Amino acid sequence: MRVEWIGVVLTTLTVGTIAFGHVLVKRLHARFGTRPGIPLLVLGLIVIAASVFSLNDTLSAALGILGITTFWDGIEIFQQEKRILRDQALEVD
């Protein structure tokens, strides 16, 4: 019987990048506002493109996970701004 670990590795990568991105978005937004949003979106697209052109399936999957989470972090920077503004408006009321 052959054991395949790639599913566990890719799942761990997925959870790790999501957790890291959650913290990253909060810290980047607190320090720089929405300015890192566009660079994160672009970086995510570049990594996704690298995933598409990778000749190794495992590397392609890992880059795809990293790319989409980076792209999503770029979106979340702008969503974080909206959440903060909404919460500040609620505090005023």
Write out pLDDT tens, residues 17-71: 999 999 999 999 999 999 999 999 999 999 999 999 999 999 999 999 999 999 9
Residue entry with tokens 């937004």: 29
* Residue 78 reports pLDDT greater than 70: yes
What's the whole-model pTM score?
0.89
Instruction: Report how far apart, in Å, the C-alpha atoms of 56 and of each of 2, 12, 14, 30, 47 are.
Output: 20, 19, 18, 38, 14
Residue 7, CB-side half-sphere exposure with 13 Å CA sphere:
2
Find, among 58, 65, 62, the residue nearest to 18 by Cα.
65
